[in-house]
Structure formats: structure tokens, C-alpha cells
Amino acid sequence: MMPASILDMSRDELRQAVTHAGFPVYRADQLADWVFVKGITDPAAMTNLPKARQSAPPSPDAAATCALGVEILSSRLVASDQDADGTTKLLIEFADGQRAETVLIPEPSRATACLSTQIGCAMGCRFCASGAGGFVRNMTAAEILQQVLHLRHALANPGAMAAPRITNVVFMGMGEPLANYAATIAAVGSLIDPDRFALSARSITISTIGPARAIRRLANENLPITLAISLHAPTDELRRSIMPAVRDSIDELMSAAEYFFQSRKREVTLEYVLIDSVNDTMLCADALANLARRVRCNVNLIALNPTDDCPYNRPTSGAVRNFAARLKNRGVNVHVRQSRGGGQSAACGQLRLRKEPQE
Ligand code: SAH
């Protein structure tokens, strides 16, 4: 049986596990210091822990690393790509051979981790690479958090130009976070735990296409995170044509956004991927402006990053500017998001698709 993961344990639970394995309680705090403060995951590098008891993984094949009888990682890095702008994309493989990708976006004043929550995605949005291979399985909370540990290794690379710590997390990698609700919320709990990843809840963004009832449930969690809703179209017909899994109406979604704002007093982000001649018309901009007026929100525009086999095109930068200007003229807070890491497998799910194991 696999030992329990340190990523699933609170400070007290780790102390119990370590004493249960026959070590003094202070060893638990030493181990947590290595993993969460220093970002070290290799037991051999944990110099103040007892050498003899740093057991090897239970089976030689397992990817797991263990210290004091506690699992640290059950995954290994299989590929890494760094773009000229410093964006680093990692592909990591779990014990069952499934792979997830995770991205680090370094900026002068912060470093953002973009995390996956599922292997594949069931939503099948027609512009998104994650949906292309279908849904495989949910990730556990420990697997979601392991991405942060792998990214911290990447940060520590002497070549990487980045802030020394991960400061922000966006759940915008593979998968639909609210379709893996419990694991996502458990991972957020650990990210904001001062004894664990110690991030501010305000620097965490959950991005979702819905449904509305999951957004309402999230609003009731008492977590001051940022909610980003992947809207991408101002009418139900258009939205359903590019996002086939959508069931709720935009009206239901916007009511849930209002409820989130009322409950959490946090401005909501509306994400809008601009697709050439599909949703980038001035009519769409006007309809989107009307929707945006319903709730305190920021609209994030991003030009489509065309994936392999994607039936759509990226709009010209002029079209993006015009769309943004139209919204701005109508009083909407609008930001044009730069797509980072454009040099290689940048869009969600692309790295995984390109490095699919050849079987
Ligand atoms: N399932 C969640 C989170 C993952 S996607 C969601 O849909 O919100 C994170 C963001 O990237 C979403 O807004 C998504 O629509 C966007 N995205 C997906 N594919 C893209 C592409 N090819 N180009 C630009 N943005 C894309």
C-alpha cells in the first residue's frame, strides 16, 4: 500500500503520521520545512533527517519519493519546455502513467502557477486542446499540489528568471476545476494554509465554464478567491455552439456570478477568447457589454491560441483592439491578456497531446 501523502496532511496529521512511524514529532516539522519552505522533495537532500530511515519508494518502479514513511511525490517530470519570455511548461507523469501539464508564468513582481485539475477534460470546448483527447480521470488533491512542487524546482533553476516563490495560482490548466470540486477545494485549502503553501486566497483564481450551481456552492465556501467565468460568447446559441457541454443559460450563469459577488465581495472575471469571425463582431461586443453591466466584473480578452486541428482562427490584433475599445467605450473594465509562451505548445493541453506516449 502507498504511504499517505504529505500533501493531504495538515501539520497535526503529519505529526501523527511521523510519530506513528516511530520518529520523534520534531521530525515532522523538519520534513514540512524541507517540502513547503525550502521546496525540496528529494529525501536524499534532506540533510538533517535520519539517513537510514529515508526509505526508498515501496517498489523500485514507483515514481514516489518518501521520507519518514510519508509520500512526498507520486509523479515524475517527463518533459519541460521554456519559452523565450520565461514561461515554463512541465509535463508530469503520475504512478498510473497518466500525464498532466502545468505552467509557470514568471513576471517581474510575481510568479504564477497554472494548474491542471483533471487528466483530459469532458467539456469538449471546440477551441481548447484539453478537450481534444476526452476525459481520462480526476486528479487527487495531492496530485494537483504536486504540480506546485515540480514548478518550484523549475523556479530554482539557475537559468530561470523569476520571482523566488510562487505567488499566484490559477486553475487554468487542463480540466474543469468545478467538475472535480472536492479535490480542487482541498488543494485550495492547502495552498492557503499558513503551515503549507501559505499563499493568499486573493492570489488564487478558479476558472470555470460553470455550471451555475457549482459557482453558488463555491460562493458559499467562504474563500476570498477570484472567480473567473469562461464565457466566450454573449448569447446562449453561440456559446453552446463552441462549448457543447454547456447546459445552463448565460442568464443563470450571470445570476450565479452576482451571487458570488454578493457573498464574497470579490469582483468576478469574465473570460472571453476572441475567435475570428465567430465571437469578435461589434454586435457581440455590445451584447457582452450589456452582460458585463450586471455584475462588478473585469472582462479578460484573449486572442485564440489556435491548437492543432482547431477549426477556428486567431483574430488580427486590430480586431482585438477594436473589440476591447468598444467594450471600454461602454464602460466595461477590460484587459487584453497576452498569451504567454506562444513559442511552443502553449495552449492548454498542447504539450500533453504532442508528447503522448507512443504505444
Ligand atoms: N475548464 C476551465 C479551466 C481551464 S481553461 C475553464 O474553461 O475555465 C482556462 C482558460 O483558457 C479558459 O478561459 C479557456 O477558455 C482558455 N482557453 C482554452 N483554450 C484556449 C485557446 N486555444 N486559446 C486561448 N484560450 C484558451
Segment 334-347 shows an average pLDDT of 67
CA of 124 to the centre of ligand 1 (A): 11
The C-alpha atoms of residue 227 and residue 240 are separated, in whole angstroms, by 21
**Residue 271: pLDDT over 50:** yes
Q: What is the pLDDT of residues 59-74, one digit of tens each?
A: 544 567 899 999 999 9
Q: What is the mean pLDDT of the chain?
A: 90
CA of 301 to the centre of ligand 1 (A): 11
Q: Which is nearest to 307 in space by CA: 180, 151, 178, 121?
A: 121
Which range (93-102, 113-122, 162-171) has the least confidence? 162-171
CA of 207 to the centre of ligand 1 (A): 8
Q: Could you give the 3-state DSSP secondary structure of residue 299?
A: strand
The C-alpha atoms of residue 356 and residue 344 are separated, in whole angstroms, by 16
Regarding beta strands 168-171 and 204-208, do their DSSP bridges make them parallel or antiparallel, or are they unpaired? parallel
Q: What is the pLDDT of residue 3?
A: 81
Q: Whose CA is nearest to atom 3 of ligand 1?
A: 172
Contact between 232 and 223 (Cβ < 8 Å): no
**Residue 353: pLDDT over 80:** no
Higher pLDDT, 231 or 164: 231
Q: What is the pLDDT of residue 164?
A: 61
Contact between 227 and 269 (Cβ < 8 Å): yes
Q: What is the pLDDT of residue 130?
A: 87
Q: Is 279 exposed, middle or buried (0-12, 13-18, 19+ CB in 10 A)?
A: buried
Q: What is the pLDDT of residue 61?
A: 47
**Residue 339: pLDDT over 80:** no
Q: What is the pLDDT of residue 352?
A: 60
Contact between 272 and 320 (Cβ < 8 Å): no
Minimum-distance ligand 1 atom for the alpha carbon of 271: 13
**Residue 239: pLDDT over 80:** yes
User: Which residues are the active-site residues?
Assistant: 101, 348
Q: What is the pLDDT of residues 127-166, one digit of tens each?
A: 998 888 899 999 999 999 999 999 998 777 555 554 468 9
The CB of 204 under 6 Å from ligand 1? The reply is no
Q: What is the pLDDT of residues 75-112, one digit of tens each?
A: 999 999 998 888 999 999 999 999 999 999 988 889 99
pTM of the shown model: 0.93
The CB of 185 under 6 Å from ligand 1? The reply is no
Minimum-distance ligand 1 atom for the alpha carbon of 305: 23
